[in-house]
Structure 1
Amino acid sequence: MIFIALSAIFIRMKAANRPITKRKIIIPPLGMSTGFMMFIVPQTHIPFLWAIVAFLVGWFLFAYPLIKSTKFEKRDGQIYVSSSKSFMFILLGLLTVRLLLHEFIQNYITVVQTGALFFVLAFGMLLHWRLYMLRHYNETFGVKESTMSS
């Protein structure tokens, strides 16, 4: 699991070298949303309140450092996510906190339910971060909100 997480961090760092588009901002949460199909399987069921708390923890706590470290810049007529020296450390810190929480929570619920809970947390984090990115991208480089509703 640590290898996969570190691989994801490495891929994310390399993505900073490629231009960003609205499509590249929107696709990750859409793709991740298919993971909610796991809840068809009864073993993954968790209390609804737990799911809400996990989502809100992801939305408010885990997304915050990502939002604060995400900036855009225009280079050669294209838009890039600015390289942030702190971004890798933020991702490693979030991974560490997540692993510690995972080990603690896994003692009280099944491994499958723990996975479901952390999926909901990760989705809340990713959705908030990507919505922020989309809004910031539109305000800075694209369509303003007032013209989007027209």
Structure 2
Amino acid sequence: MGSNLQAISLFGTLGMALLVLAIRMKASKRPVNAMKILMPPIGMSTGFLMFVAPMTRIPVTWGLLAFAVGAVVFAYPLIRSSGFTKQGDHVYLHRSKAFLFILIILLAIRMLLHGYVEEFISVYQTASVFFILAFGMLLPWRVAMYVQYRKLMNS
């Protein structure tokens, strides 16, 4: 059963990563607004309901550490490689040419860490740790994007 959960987790993560890559690449062709920037972390926050299930619970220190790693290590390259341009009344996402490469590298690092951590704690707890890490990456990135967006809209 454990190896089935590991395989499901691996393919689920890879599938979601490919979906995110496709969505991010298409997003730069359409204007953005505050709602499009802020909805992903709001939508993702519903994932914290997983902690209702006892098997997914982790010590608070693990959660804080996972969030910090996501916010400091993983969010920083995304923040640095994402920006906006204003064309008329519309704002468009403009990212560096390295953005796709950065996403792929971050995914690879995350997958390697996932495999390592999974050797020491349960599959469910690993999922919890990496969900919090991903949220820790997404939230600061989107907040930074929103701040940039507001500055551009007010200029």
Same fold (TM over 0.5): yes
1:99 to 111, 129, 135: 111
Structure-to-structure mapping, 1:4-43, within 5 angstroms? 4-43=16-55
Q: Which residue of 2 aligns with 1:125?
A: 137
Corresponding residue SS for 2:32: coil
Q: Give the Å deviation of 1:46.
A: 0.6
Alignment length (residue pairs): 143
Residue 65 of structure 2 is aligned to residue 63 of structure 1: no
* Bigger shift: residues 107-116 or 75-84: 75-84
Say what the alpha-carbon RMSD is for the aligned residues: 1.2
Which of the residues 96, 107, 110 maps onto 2:122?
A: 110
What letter is aligned with 1:117?
V
The residue that corresponds to 2:3 in the other structure is: none
Shift of the 83–67 alpha-carbon distance from structure 1 to 2, 3 Å rule, reads closer
The runs of 5 or more residues in structure 1 that have no matched partner are 144-150
TM-score, length of structure 1 as denominator length: 0.91
What does residue 6 of structure 2 align with? none
Q: What SS is found at the alignment partner of 2:116?
A: helix
Deviation at 1:19, TM superposition (A): 0.7
Q: What percent identity do the matched residue pairs reach?
A: 48
Partner of 1:148: none
Specify the SS of the correspondent of 1:85: coil
Checking the alignment, whether the CA contact within 8 Å between 2:86 and 2:152 is kept in structure 1 is no
CA distance in structure 2 between the partners assigned to 1:83 and 1:25 by the alignment = 14
Between the aligned partners of 1:54 and 1:100, the Cα distance in structure 2 is 15
The one-letter code sitting in structure 2 at the alignment partner of 1:118 is F
Letter in 2 for 1:21: N
> After the TM superposition, which segments of 4 or more aligned residues of structure 1 sit over 4 Å from their partners?
none
Mapped pair 1:50 → 2:62: yes
